[in-house]
Amino acid sequence: MEQYKQEFIEFMVDCNVLKFGDFVTKSGRKTPFFVNTGFYRTGSQLVKLGEYYAKAIKDKYGVEFDVLFGPAYKGIPLSVTTAMALSNLYGADIRYCSNRKEVKDHGDTGILLGSPISDGDQVIIIEDVTTAGTSVNETLPIIKAQGDITVAGLVVSVDRMERGQGEKSALEEIKETYGIETTAIVTMAEVVEHLYNREYNGAIIIDDTLKMAIDKYYEQYGVK
């Protein structure tokens, strides 16, 4: 596993973003792990987060694209910090863009924030965690309405590796439905691989009991 992936997993633990216990997802699934990106709250955390996203984007797509699009609301700071990281790490001057939830009719009018999107632009969408496709379904018409645009990819922080609407993973469903290449900074399989029976900050985060709970969860909800 790449070094930056290992560092990102530990970074999520340090920021209290990655938690283990008893949780219920929006879909009603009882899960032994939870990713809450709302716990990235400081400037230094956002700087690091942007760097991890930038490295994942570089690995999957390279940096020969035009616009990084972050859907409102969580995608807005992600698009900004990652665009900055792409510039700092790779010298790639990528434009950032986000949408408003409500169209503004005065001053800086329209539905978009940041850079306009124009004919011929290659766009990568950036989100927080694996989506069921709802956000992409809302975002694509906004992007496509701007002209002859190619959506080159979708990047998220964590792939939960569980079924979406059918038997495939949410990211696989997005690829199949919309023809968009997807990637994540890390998958839950990589998280488990890195933390299982390994001491970090003086504690074993994923012990045998928790590993059994995670395995049981994937027996029920994992991709077949």
DSSP for 169-193 reads BHHHHHHHHH---EEEEEEHHHHHH
Choosing from 58, 74, 101, 106, which is the catalytic residue?
Answer: 106
Query: For this structure, is 106 an active site residue?
Result: yes
From residue 143, alpha-carbon distances to 6, 32, 67, 86, 124 in Å are 33, 36, 11, 21, 10
Cα of first residue to Cα of last residue in the chain, in angstroms, is 23
Choosing from 58, 60, 101, 104, which is the catalytic residue?
Answer: 104
Handedness of CA 4, 131, 209, 203 (dihedral sign): positive
Query: For this structure, is 104 an active site residue?
Result: yes
Q: How would you class 3 by CB atoms within 10 Å of its CB: exposed for 0-12, middle for 13-18, buried for 19 or more?
A: exposed
Q: What is the Cα–Cα distance from 47 to 56, expressed in whole angstroms? A: 15
- Which residues are the active-site residues? 104, 106
